[in-house]
Structure 1
Amino acid sequence: MHPILQGFILGFIIVLPGMSGGTVFVILGIYEQVIKDLVKLNLKPYIPLVIGAIVGIFLGAMAFSVFFEHHRDATTALLLGCVIASIKPVLKNSPKLNFNRLIIAVIGFLLGYYLVGEPISIVSASKEVSWYLLLMGGALSSAVMIIPGLPGSSVLILFGIYDSLLLYISNLDIINLAIFGIGGLIGILLLVKILENLYNNHRGLVSYSFAGIIFGSSRALLPYDINLLVTVLFILGFSIIWKWSDKE
């Protein structure tokens, strides 16, 4: 498969909350090589992949921003299903639940629940996001995204900037996107190896805390009203991620 097409698939998929970029790399068969090259700062071979990813992210974000603006509850229901189901791949191959890990998960849940704030809406997306939050969100989400099973978009939801980024992409807000992109480069080049080592050495701690954070922060995607369409889309989003996680 051509790297540009690989990048397009990656970009379009990671826009969806619950989707892990690392899982996409595993499925495409390039995960180990990507990690090795990132550590060595061998980035030139990935220029076509990055170009494809930018196009995929742009088209995916455009689609979601349009749906979000005109069909807020339907869109959040789909995304909520994706986020809840993403707990499955996060806990995949993790140690079994015990009392200590349960406590870690509960702490993560409370952290996610109280940090995320109110459910996202098109009104909150129009508010300006501080540059340092964009920078930090870009760094952490990109580093997390590289680890298979961990969805970087959940970091953006936790920071309360997921909907704002959709708006920035759809409006081609170059300044804010550049700040976020710089943070992303920092995360990929400086944090990804640290996070990978932490994940490999403390899988239980990272997995259960992240599962709790995801579950707690999912309240940002709660629909205002529940009806048949909202329920169906929630089930659809849940099913997509649940089935996707088996592919890894």
Structure 2
Amino acid sequence: MANSVGSYIFNAVRGGAVGTSEALPGISGGTVALMVGLYDKLIGGAGHVVSGIKRYVTDVPRGRGKDRAREQFRQVDWGVLIPALIGMAFALILAAVFLAPLVESHTQYAYALFFGLVLACLWIPYTGAGKTWKAWHYLLALVFAALSFFLTGLPGANLPTHPVVVFIAAAVAICALVLPGLSGSFILLALGLYEPTMAALRSVDIPYIAVFVLGMITGLALFVKVLQFLLENHHHVTLVVLTGLMAGSLRALWPWQSEEREILPMTDVPVTLAFTALGFVIVVASIVWEHRTRAQREHEAGHQSVSV
């Protein structure tokens, strides 16, 4: 897509979808990034930015590395990354102020909707590499699904809001942003820091937010290079693992559960299942639309090349 005003707005909206998901416990920003087609751009772009900054910090003072640092920055699709990050930041704040309270007041229906969304999203990493799964791929996905299922069932802690604790928690939570199936907000909830963080965003608590952002940047810088390497060199296996993580994380979105992750009796089943079906249909419709749009673009490109 050309870098026009329309494309910038489109990328900001896609980033906004990711930012909104990060404000909601149980919803993985990585999953939404996969769904809206931002995942590879975000991971690859962040990886090149980290490498470029590292070159400037370590090599340039010694009189070398400036060209290599610039080369890393040139590989970033800034027309996608910057609008997406801006949209992500604005949507995260708006969701923390307006959407999170709504989800908390209608948790069962909201989780049912998200359950359907994530369930349908499993198709994206499952088919993302364009290769057939072998038996050991299914076994590997099952192992990581079990791990994700276990982690999302852990009871919540109650850690203090000390700056060091907030810094470390933010560094861990941001890793969940780049791992589909794991929710940064859910990690904060498990650590007992979700409510303090949402309150800090709502009240614009600058010291808290500054420490949290610094932790996010640090965690992202440490983790994103690893994931970038895996996606570039072991793409299919990485998507297999991500599929397993997403599947296991569905436990966190089971509509009939308490805040302590205890399974509750199934109530309002028809309405709840309707919300689940709605979420599923939304993603399926998005996937079909995206595939048709891509096929049309490829057909037009092929027709133009033949004409030339």
Band of TM-score, shorter chain: 0.7 to 0.9
Distance 1:13 1:199, change over 3 A: same
Q: CA deviation at 1:128?
A: 6.1
AA at the equivalent of 2:33: S
CA distance in 1, matches of 2:195, 2:117: 17
* 207-216 or 36-45: bigger deviation: 36-45
Is 2:197 the counterpart of 1:168? yes
1:85-110 CA-to-partner distances (Å, cap 9, x unmatched) read: 22111122333221111110110111
With the length of structure 2 as denominator, give the TM-score of the two structures: 0.61
1:159 and 2:187 equivalent?
yes
Aligned CA RMSD, in angstroms, stands at 3.9
* Cα distance, 1:118 vs structure 2: 5.7
Of residues 33, 40, 53, the one that matches 1:20 is 33
Structure 1 residues 179 and 113, CA gap change in structure 2 (3 angstroms): farther
Contact kept, 8 Å, 2:13 with 2:84, in 1: the verdict is no
Deviations 1:150-169 (A, max 9, x none): 63x73426636389647733
Bigger shift: 46-55 or 223-232? Answer: 46-55
Counterpart contact for 2:43–2:228, Cα < 8 Å: no
Question: Residue by residue, what CA displacement relative to the aligned partner does 1:21-67 show, whole Å, maximum 9, x if unpaired?
Answer: 6944489x999777655643459987666444311221233343122
Residue 235 (structure 2) pairs with residue 203 (structure 1): yes
The one-letter amino acid paired with 1:169 is M
* Matches of 1:154 and 1:217, distance apart in 2: 7
Other-structure match for 1:230: 272
SS of equivalent residue, structure 2 residue 229: helix
Match of 1:209, SS state, is: helix
Q: Separation in 2 of the partners of 1:239 and 1:128? A: 41
Secondary structure, counterpart of 2:32 in structure 1: coil
- How high is the TM-score relative to the length of structure 1? 0.73
Structure 1 vs Structure 2: percent identity of aligned residues?
20
Deviation digits for residues 132-151 of structure 1 (CA, Å, limit 9, x no counterpart): 2332111x134x2xxxxx63
Greater Rg by CA: 2
Q: Output the CA distance in 2 between the equivalents of 1:60 and 1:169.
A: 10
Alignment partner, residue 176 of structure 2: 141
8 Å Cα contact 1:65/1:170 also seen in 2 = no
Give the count of matched residue pairs.
235
1:162-200 deviations in whole A, cap 9, x for unaligned? 896477336526455444422332344443233122123
| Residue 239 (structure 1) aligns with | 281
Matched with 1:40 is: 52
**Structure 2 counterparts to residues 1-248 of structure 1, below 5 A:** 1=5, 5=9, 8-14=12-18, 15-16=20-21, 17=27, 18-20=31-33, 23-25=36-38, 36=48, 39-41=51-53, 42=73, 50-94=85-129, 95-117=131-153, 130-131=165-166, 132-138=168-174, 140-142=175-177, 144=178, 151=180, 154-156=182-184, 159=187, 161=189, 165=194, 168-169=197-198, 172=201, 174=205, 177-224=209-256, 225-226=266-267, 227-246=269-288, 247=290
SS of the aligned residue for 1:20 comes to helix
> Deviation at 1:114?
0.9
Q: What is the letter of the counterpart of residue 170 of structure 2?
A: L
Q: Secondary structure at the match of 1:154?
A: coil
Q: Distance in 1 between matches of 2:286 and 2:276?
A: 15
Q: Secondary structure at the match of 2:128?
A: coil
**CA displacement at 1:73 relative to structure 2:** 0.2
Task: Give unpaired runs (5+ residues) of structure 1.
Answer: 145-149
| Aligned residues of 1:11 and 1:60 also touching (Cα < 8 A) | no
